[in-house]
Structure 1
């Protein structure tokens, strides 16, 4: 299983009155982790959009374990948990700067035509991307 890593320096604006990262900001961090994974295997999500396709989130699960606070550096680890040619489930672990698991998350996406959001098979429109996901997916047998 291939895992991409990305660090985030926690900014003051990302915290709430309790001084911890506001829960919705983790969703932005998941996108940063996902983008890093896609880039490290040689692709760009923006290129998919340029040719009329999108990859919308259809399901999201986040478990908050420990807070991360202003001034810390968070580490996002991202991988492909499952891939079936149309749907991809990304897995994420976010650690605080002492190595403790702070967030465990999964986001499910489909590949779809931008117009109408009709799901499509990745192999038909993005065969190289499809092959790469098959190789790095945790469910690759």
Structure 2
């Protein structure tokens, strides 16, 4: 679970978080999720693998305001070796209510923008992703409720 505190600049004239910021939060949480899985965007790029976004969607259920804390649950939902889909759930930390859900789809490409099958070309990365499919990776430094 990734935690984000809403910044003033993320709000609009109505005092609520502007819809575009949720997509940024998805990215923050996704990269954090990958880091906890031992997957580094930086290392992938050094190896010549890029990971563009194919599509993203969000459904807004409840407003979020300046200085609110939200918890973002990230789950790698689908993976076929080339395309990886994440699901997101954003909850108000104060009351646990679900405020936003979303998805993003990504593919693995080489620097020439050709699809890369991780199963064939990077078995270590492929196995790491398979290990964490369907799991919300917790921050080992955060105290978990039992």
**Deviation >4 Å, runs of 4+:** none
Give the structure 1 partner of residue 25 of structure 2: 29
SS of 2:67's partner is coil
CA contact (8 A) 2:39 2:128 kept: no
Pairwise CA RMSD = 1.4
Give 1:80 shift: 0.5
**Separation of aligned partners in 2, 1:135 and 1:122:** 14
Structure 1 residues 35-81: Cα deviation after superposition (integer angstroms, max 9, x where no partner): 01110011211111122211101011211111110011011110101
Q: Which runs of 5+ in 1 are unaligned?
A: none
Give the structure 2 partner of residue 68 of structure 1: 64
Match for 2:51 among 52, 55, 61? Answer: 55
Q: Which runs of 5+ in 2 are unaligned?
A: 135-146
Give the structure 1 partner of residue 109 of structure 2: 112
**Separation of aligned partners in 2, 1:104 and 1:76:** 9
Superposition TM-score, scaled by structure 1 size: 0.90
**Separation of aligned partners in 2, 1:88 and 1:76:** 18
Give the structure 2 partner of residue 123 of structure 1: 119
Q: How many residues align?
A: 134
**Separation of aligned partners in 2, 1:32 and 1:26:** 10
